[in-house]
Amino acid sequence: MKINLQTHLSEAINEKLKGGMGDDKTLQDIANKHDCPIELIELMLKWGMDVEMEHTNDKEVAREIAMDHLTEDPIYYKKLKEMEGE
């Protein structure tokens, strides 16, 4: 029996990411939660996905991780850039 490694890894990653704070949230939901403009959340999502793509080749996984961070703190990636001195 052949095992498709990519499918197996994707399933394993998806399993690990279930239950994140950003699950079932839209960008508008996050903006509303933090009472901030959606344009800020869109920008932070772009920054966040760029950061998270350093750790994965899967854009969906990167987006989910970024959404989790933004749900908790809408300027998470701005703070991260400042800490890294960028």
pTM for the full model?
0.74
Question: What mean pLDDT, rounded, does the chain reach?
Answer: 83
What pLDDT score does 45 carry? 96
What pLDDT score does 25 carry? 87
The domain of 36 spans 5-84
Count of other CB atoms within 10 angstroms of residue 22: 21
pLDDT in tens, 43-70: 999 999 999 999 999 998 999 999 999 9
CB 77 within 8 A of CB 31: no
Helices (H), 1-86: 5-17, 27-34, 38-52, 59-72, 76-84
CB 18 within 8 A of CB 52: no
CA separation for the pair 35, 41 (Å, rounded): 11
- The total number of structural domains in the chain stands at 1
Residue 19 or residue 9, greater confidence:
19
pLDDT classification of 2: cutoffs 50, 70, 90: low
What pLDDT score does 8 carry? 46
CA separation for the pair 3, 36 (Å, rounded): 46
